[in-house]
A and B are shown apart, each in its own frame.
Chain A
């Protein structure tokens, strides 16, 4: 069965620090999709990125970057020069072709001014 592990329950950093959120997944499928979502204090989860299993190219979007490594079954998320507005719970998720999306337990990031 597919599984997503986010080992970091809570992370606290000071503004402008870089921070990496870890995500390790398990799947037997060769075709799968990985996601990151952000849940700010308002509660609504917001989609950040989707990556399919055939595309290992790393992605950068402003201060956000994602490192996908099939060899270690990891899909880590880095925020560069963190800001207070980045404070949220971040979820990593995995879906396979014939299975529904599974979420990790989430990592609560607190960015202090």
Chain B
């Protein structure tokens, strides 16, 4: 069974803290993505990566960075968390070039910034 695993389901952090969200996939996919999901806004793309050590900005990259040192792992970093980054974060991977194929999602990480 294909699997995308996100390290934490629920996190509570304080304003200004550095936050790491980890994502691992076991499908040998080249493509990995980070989205955030907010009510009424659907899913918005933060960053994505089509290869190891490669990253590209999505629609809302401000306040975030990413790291992809290994093919199976894609990390999202909030350098200094703010309350407006309270959200559900979803990691996904795909096999086909860019986004032409289906995405496989993790269960999500719900982050609350106080």
A residues contacting B by CB (< 8 A) are 4, 6, 9, 33, 35, 37, 42-47, 50, 91, 93, 95, 97-106
B105 close to chain A: CB less than 8 A: yes
**In which size bucket is the chain B interface?**
20 to 34
On chain A, the residues within 8 Å of B107 by CB distance are: 42-44
Within 8 A of A (CB), among B29-58: 33, 35, 40-45, 48, 58
A-B contact pairs, 10 of them (CB 8 A): A43-B108, A44-B106, A45-B105, A47-B103, A91-B42, A95-B98, A97-B100, A100-B45, A103-B44, A105-B42
| Other A-B pairs, 20, CB within 8 Å; known A93-B43, A104-B42 | A4-B42, A6-B42, A33-B100, A43-B88, A43-B108, A45-B92, A50-B101, A91-B42, A91-B43, A95-B98, A99-B99, A100-B33, A100-B45, A100-B98, A101-B103, A102-B45, A103-B43, A105-B40, A105-B42, A106-B42
B102 close to chain A: CB less than 8 A: yes
B residues contacting A by CB (< 8 A) are 33, 35, 40-45, 48, 58, 88, 90, 92, 98-108
A103 vs chain B, min Cβ distance (A): 4
Q: Are A98 and B98 in contact (CB under 8 A)?
A: yes
Closest B residue, CB atoms, query A42: B107
Name the one of A95, A102, A104 contacting B100, with C-beta atoms under 8 angstroms.
A95
On chain B, the residues within 8 Å of A101 by CB distance are: 33, 45, 99, 103
B91 vs chain A, min Cβ distance (A): 11
